[in-house]
Amino acid sequence: MSEGEERRGWAAMIFPAGSADVFGAVRGSRQLHWTREAAFKEAEAWVAEMRAGPIRWESVGDGIMIGRIRGYGVVVRSVLLPLGPPPPSVEGESA
């Protein structure tokens, strides 16, 4: 990775569409992916399990893709990783 290049992690999430009673993802990446393609593959595997595909994708900005399937919205997004090593207070902590 070159100096100044942004380091990104990628995650996938599935949200119910049109449900006022649900306030979060019903499926989500347990850990970040190194590439956008890996996050897409994870989302596509969930949708295949749900038999709800295919996903209709659209880009809504840098690092965010939104997909639509029957009854759900699918999000693949990136997050910038911090530079340098983690501070001593968080090393070894588990999520």
Residue corresponding to tokens 């595997």: 45
Residue 20 has pLDDT above 90, yes or no: no
Closest CA to 6 of 60, 76, 63, 81: 81
Residue corresponding to tokens 């399937």: 69
Quote the pTM value: 0.77
Residue 93 has pLDDT above 90, yes or no: no
**pLDDT tens, residue by residue, 28-71:** 999 999 999 999 999 999 999 999 879 999 998 888 999 999 88
Say what the pLDDT of residue 3 is. 47
